[in-house]
């Protein structure tokens, strides 16, 4: 659970176009490989971002 909180925070940071440190990128990539819930969260964020871009 603690790792998922960290992962979702990093996904949000990445979505906000803020740079991730190398260790953050590695953590996130590794976590997304093993956690279907965070993978789904990232996919939802990506879909929402694409939909917003289409509107504007």
Q: Pick from 19, 10, 3: which is nearest to 42 by CA?
A: 10
The pLDDT > 90 percentage for the chain reads 93
Give the pLDDT confidence of 8-23 residue by residue, as tens digits: 999 999 999 999 999 9
pLDDT above 90 for 43: yes
The yes-or-no verdict on residue 31 having pLDDT over 90 is yes
Predicted confidence at residue 33, as pLDDT, reads 98
Model confidence at 7: pLDDT above 90: yes
- Model confidence, pTM: 0.88
pLDDT of residue 16: 94
């Amino acid at each position: 659970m603690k790792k998922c909180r960290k992962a979702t925070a990093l996904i949000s940071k990445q979505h906000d176009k803020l740079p991730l440190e190398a260790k953050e990128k590695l953590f996130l990539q590794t976590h997304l490989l093993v956690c279907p819930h965070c993978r789904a969260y990232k996919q939802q964020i990506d879909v929402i971002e694409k939909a917003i871009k289409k509107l504007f």
